[in-house]
Structure 1
Amino acid sequence: MRLPLQIVAIVLTFAAALVSPAFAAERVLLANGFDMRCNHHAAVGSMVRLYMNPGQSSYIEFRPEEIASFETVPDPPPPQLSNTAKLGTDARLNPADLNEMLAAAGQQHNLDADLLASVVKAESNGNTRAVSRAGARGLMQLMPGTAAEQGVDDSFRPDENVRGGSAYLNDLLVKYHDNIALALAAYNAGPAAVDKYHGIPPYHETRAYVARVIHEFNRRVLAREAEARKSGAAAASLSAFHVR
């Protein structure tokens, strides 16, 4: 992977806060003039924790003097898939087949398979026949021009779509020096928009999209870490039992 797992989780937590995720419930005005979003906050010892989701696992800590004020924001509408409603017949792969496909593409391009899975979830929710009103197609919602550039003949073929989408995302990560938030913004709105605004474009759909993918990726990373710890503890316990 391009970044160590621990660094990825930290980077994504900050990125999710800065792009104003749709699941946030509080706006936080910082003393330095910047603002961010969080789900809720709490005082823990001498610090204030800003929690990025309803649970307690993902948070950022600030000193009280670094925070100017909090503002409650109204509940957002349910998140929508990228590029508005999807059209076409709903056709889904077996989860194991999809995971295997994403793992192979991730290995080929040195991308985390969970990042690719998060993009697929946001783009098509796993529907291989998804078509957006803008004309994007398949699992990773490739526009015809992008598909042609990546050598994809049939965007409705899951293997071709994932191969093309992964290669395109890899190109964007190279272009933006592994800045995941910028690469995702370019995937959604196009590199021209990111270059024009020198960052994530001020489009509601794009900002919500970036936050949604990052939030899902962060959730998957944390779940993976928890499962690894659980497996490690079980192995250690079994080893101790045999030693006795």
Structure 2
Amino acid sequence: MHTRLQSAAALAALLVGCASRPAQSAERVSLTNGYDIVCSHHAQVGSHIRLYMGPGVNSYIDRAPSDIAKIEAIPDPPPPPADPASVNPQTEAPLSSLDLHEMLARASQQHNLDADLLASVVKAESDGNPRAVSRAGARGLMQLMPKTAAEVGVDDSFRPDQNVRGGSAYLNELLVKYHDNIALALAAYNAGPAAVDKYHGIPPYHETRAYVARVIHEFNRRVLARQAHFSQARQATQSPFRPSTTR
């Protein structure tokens, strides 16, 4: 069965520089004149440092590097507590690693996706927490936005089975759109297809580049571990060679 594995190793090497820095919600820029600016993210553009005022690319301020004393990340605020009135006892049942593994295996077979790729997305998106809510409103194991969840037929994003089914379907659509280019599909999963299409590649957003690198790094780790397991199992089943003896 064909799976999307071919480009993962090369992409991890290309993006490894981004993997060491976690995505942040905002950055505080301290200027040499004593003032501070809070921005979404920054990037080097020519000889200037571009400070983006929001998640998009149309609102920004350019500053000379000599104007900037330091840039520091502002940690994400803790997620809001769940509304007790919205808690469904069925969704609050603990999700075991075996249950999650079986859900990912089913989604893998349904959409011809590598289960380790799906597991890597779940790890990066929610760390396996089915009740996770992002600051932007994405929900569940694969962090579906309400609009995306509705488009893929998910009624309750906090139900792990629905979330995995919908997130896998959406990721499969993106892989088809970008001709099995894993990096572009992951970038679109994080920043939206419009951003990928606009930049004809991975958008120059620190959060998106770090996300793509993080998922691919985890995917490669899982693939290597799987290959090592299969190799050990194969060696264990092979009988040692015993030459025949004559009397």
Normalising by structure 1, we get a TM-score of 0.69
8 A contact 2:7–2:181 mirrored in 1: no
Q: Deviations over 1:95-115 (max 9, x none)?
A: 011000000001000000000
- 1:17 matched to 2:13? The reply is yes
Please list, as runs of the form range in 1=range in 2, the aligned pairs for 1:115-134 lying within 5 A after superposition.
115-134=117-136
CA distance in 2, matches of 1:208, 1:217: 14
- 1:137 matched to 2:133? The reply is no
CA distance in 1, matches of 2:102, 2:212: 24
Q: Deviations over 1:208-232 (max 9, x none)?
A: 0000000000000000000000000
Q: Residues 93 and 87 of structure 1: is their aligned pair in 2 closer, same or farther, counting only changes over 3 Å?
A: farther
Please list, as runs of the form range in 1=range in 2, the aligned pairs for 1:84-123 lying within 5 A after superposition.
86-88=79-81, 93-123=95-125
CA distance in 1, matches of 2:8, 2:80: 31
TM-fit CA distance, 1:94: 0.4
CA distance in 2, matches of 1:92, 1:181: 32
CA distance in 1, matches of 2:238, 2:80: 50
- 1:189 matched to 2:191? The reply is yes
8 A contact 1:118–1:216 mirrored in 2: yes
8 A contact 1:91–1:129 mirrored in 2: no
Q: Deviations over 1:54-84 (max 9, x none)?
A: xxxxxxxxxxxxxxxxxxxxxxx9xx9xx98
Greater CA radius of gyration, 1 or 2?
2
8 A contact 1:181–1:200 mirrored in 2: yes
Q: Deviations over 1:164-200 (max 9, x none)?
A: 0000000000000000000000000000000000000
Please list, as runs of the form range in 1=range in 2, the aligned pairs for 1:157-168 lying within 5 A after superposition.
157-168=159-170
CA distance in 1, matches of 2:103, 2:195: 30
CA distance in 2, matches of 1:136, 1:230: 40
CA distance in 2, matches of 1:205, 1:96: 30
TM-fit CA distance, 1:21: 3.3
CA distance in 1, matches of 2:127, 2:236: 33
Q: Residues 17 and 88 of structure 1: is their aligned pair in 2 closer, same or farther, counting only changes over 3 Å?
A: farther
Number of equivalences: 183
8 A contact 1:147–1:155 mirrored in 2: yes
CA distance in 2, matches of 1:221, 1:85: 32
Q: Residues 205 and 177 of structure 1: is their aligned pair in 2 closer, same or farther, counting only changes over 3 Å?
A: same
CA distance in 2, matches of 1:236, 1:178: 36
8 A contact 1:173–1:180 mirrored in 2: yes
8 A contact 1:131–1:137 mirrored in 2: yes
TM-fit CA distance, 1:3: 3.8
Identity within the alignment, % = 71
Q: Residues 184 and 3 of structure 1: is their aligned pair in 2 closer, same or farther, counting only changes over 3 Å?
A: same
8 A contact 1:87–1:130 mirrored in 2: no
TM-fit CA distance, 1:2: 3.5
8 A contact 1:92–1:127 mirrored in 2: no
Please list, as runs of the form range in 1=range in 2, the aligned pairs for 1:1-244 lying within 5 A after superposition.
1-3=1-3, 8=5, 11-19=7-15, 20-23=17-20, 86-88=79-81, 93-237=95-239
TM-fit CA distance, 1:23: 3.4
After superposing on structure 2, the runs of 4+ consecutive aligned residues of structure 1 that deviate more than 3 Å are 1-4, 83-92
Q: Aligned Cα RMSD in Å?
A: 2.7
